[in-house]
């Protein structure tokens, strides 16, 4: 099959003919119809993000495609089914603490790296081998819409945070990084799930205006000044009531103080979910004040990706018509233009824009 191969960090992707993947028990082979290219793929491939990936490797996490073959233990999936290939590969022998690898993106710890060695190659290829449970059925779709269905990859991450904080209809959410890719997906989801309102802080007025245009009154934009005391008040004033929860999606380039300022807008009993990259490349620690957490009964938790149950529930929101994938603008590239797709994705980050490869 044809695949885009990263031979070494810092080298361009090479479009090679590689051996077709074969499957065993507990695995599924999927014909990749569309696969998302994240805005920071160039940083992963250059090595700047220091993600743990063995090379050579076929990059690409997540895809929309059709089942080509299933292992002997698959009881429902069959050839031709449309599936989302969930890149979150979990060890099956991990009990309460499974090892996790993001297939062909990154891995956590020694066990995660072991998984990554095995489920090594990703979706920048004509087909991909995934664990059976990672081929999540999405129901019949128009093949022309496969690119739009790649928004699942972003939405699922956002949804993982909202499920982790047990976000409820009628609540007010603040999204730190609301103008970014994952942040804007969180905004769309929280509103679809019945948020009273969503506070969206950001620096880019044009993007904030666009969010307001898309979502109307329930979207509360706040232009950040960079001055913590001013920004805290502005974010609290923008909400129609107390802020129940904060979801943080700030990238590694952002100082911890920005994240802290947003989290400290929470009401008594509020919950914060940390999902961004703050501190991953060093810098100041988040350092939330102990007395503030204690006296205000605050819950702070981290979230990496999502539970498998998030997938059918998210499909339900889409199929039920409350979440519209047409909000995303898709730019598609053929596989042999994978390097152009990576450059395009970097230059077109932000809300409701998807760069995809169509192998
Ligand atoms: N936990 C997980 O499972 C998971 C999964 C995937 C990705 N992630 C992480 O999610 C993070 C976000 O990714 P993304 O693709 O959404 O990034 P992105 O599209 O580049 O968005 C970045 C956001 O950060 C804001 N920002 C940047 N500098 C800022 C500053 N100085 N002050 C305030 N806001 C600032 C931007 O807003 P303005 O420019 O408008 O100010 C924008 O809203 C990454 O670190 C990624 O690694 C986590």
* Residue range 81-116, pLDDT digits in tens: 999 999 999 999 999 999 999 999 999 899 999 999
What pLDDT does 168 receive?
98
Which domains are assigned to the chain? 2-151+328-358 (3.90.180.10), 156-302 (3.40.50.720)
CB atoms closer than 10 angstroms to residue 109: 13
CA of 167 to the centre of ligand 1 (A): 21
Task: Give the C-alpha separation, 147 to 354, whole Å.
Answer: 8
Mean pLDDT for the stretch of residues 175-202: 97
What pLDDT does 167 receive?
98
Give how far Cα 48 sits from Cα of 11, 40, 44, 280, 297, Å. 12, 10, 6, 11, 38
Among 125-134, 274-283, 317-326, 331-340, the range scoring the smallest mean pLDDT is: 274-283
Task: Give the C-alpha separation, 74 to 72, whole Å.
Answer: 6
- Candidate of 250, 283, 307, 346 to mutate for ligand 1, largest count of ligand atoms within 8 Å of Cβ: 250
Q: Does the beta carbon of 250 lie inside 6 Å of ligand 1?
A: yes
What pLDDT does 108 receive?
87
Mean pLDDT for the stretch of residues 347-359: 95
> Is the per-residue pLDDT at 325 higher than 90?
yes
Q: Does the beta carbon of 47 lie inside 6 Å of ligand 1?
A: no
CA of 282 to the centre of ligand 1 (A): 16
> Is the per-residue pLDDT at 282 higher than 90?
no
pTM of the model: 0.96
Which residue has the CA at smallest separation from atom 28 of ligand 1? 254
Say what percent of the chain tops pLDDT 70. 100
**What tens digit of pLDDT does each residue of 236-265 get?**
999 989 999 999 999 999 999 999 999 999
**What tens digit of pLDDT does each residue of 17-47 get?**
999 999 999 999 999 999 999 999 999 999 9
Three-point CA angle 130, 134, 140, nearest 5°: 105
The DSSP 8-state label assigned to residue 12 in this structure reads: P
> Is the per-residue pLDDT at 350 higher than 90?
no
Q: Which residues of 117-145 are buried (b: 16+ CB within 10 A; e: fewer)?
A: eebbbbbbbbbbbbbbbbbbbbeeeeeee
- Helix, strand, or coil (residue 270): strand
Task: Give the C-alpha separation, 171 to 20, whole Å.
Answer: 49
Q: Does the beta carbon of 159 lie inside 6 Å of ligand 1?
A: no
């Amino acid at each position: 099959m044809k695949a885009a191969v990263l031979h070494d960090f810092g080298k361009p992707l090479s479009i090679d003919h590689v051996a077709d993947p074969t499957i065993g028990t507990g695995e599924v082979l999927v014909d990749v119809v569309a696969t998302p290219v994240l805005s920071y793929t160039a940083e992963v491939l250059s090595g700047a993000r220091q993600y743990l990936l063995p090379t050579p490797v076929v990059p690409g996490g997540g895809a929309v495609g059709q089942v080509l073959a299933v292992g002997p233990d698959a009881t429902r999936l069959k050839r031709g089914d449309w599936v989302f290939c969930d890149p979150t590969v979990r060890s099956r022998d991990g009990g309460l603490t499974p090892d996790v690898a993001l297939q062909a993106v990154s891995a956590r710890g020694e066990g995660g790296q072991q998984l990554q060695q095995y489920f090594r190659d990703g979706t920048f290829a004509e087909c991909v081998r995934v664990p059976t449970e990672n081929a999540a059925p999405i129901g019949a779709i128009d093949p022309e819409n496969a690119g739009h269905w790649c928004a699942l990859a972003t939405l699922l991450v956002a949804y993982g945070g909202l499920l982790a904080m047990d976000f409820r209809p009628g609540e007010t959410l603040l999204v730190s990084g609301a103008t970014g890719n994952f942040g804007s997906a969180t905004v769309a989801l929280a509103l679809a799930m019945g948020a009273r309102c969503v506070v969206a802080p950001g620096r880019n007025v044009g993007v904030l205006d666009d969010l307001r245009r898309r979502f109307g009154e329930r979207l509360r934009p706040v232009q950040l000044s960079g001055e913590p005391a001013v920004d805290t008040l502005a974010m609290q004033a923008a909400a129609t009531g107390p802020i129940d929860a904060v979801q943080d999606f700030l990238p590694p380039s952002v100082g911890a103080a920005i994240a802290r300022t947003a989290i400290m807008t929470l009401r008594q009993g509020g919950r914060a979910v940390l999902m961004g990259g703050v501190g991953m490349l060093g810098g100041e620690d988040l350092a939330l004040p102990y007395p503030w957490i204690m006296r205000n009964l605050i819950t702070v938790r981290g979230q990496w990706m999502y539970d498998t149950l998030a997938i059918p529930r998210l499909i339900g929101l889409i199929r039920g018509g409350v979440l519209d994938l047409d909000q995303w603008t898709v730019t598609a590239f053929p596989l042999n233009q994978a390097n152009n797709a990576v450059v395009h994705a970097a230059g077109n980050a932000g809300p409701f824009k998807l760069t995809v490869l169509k192998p």
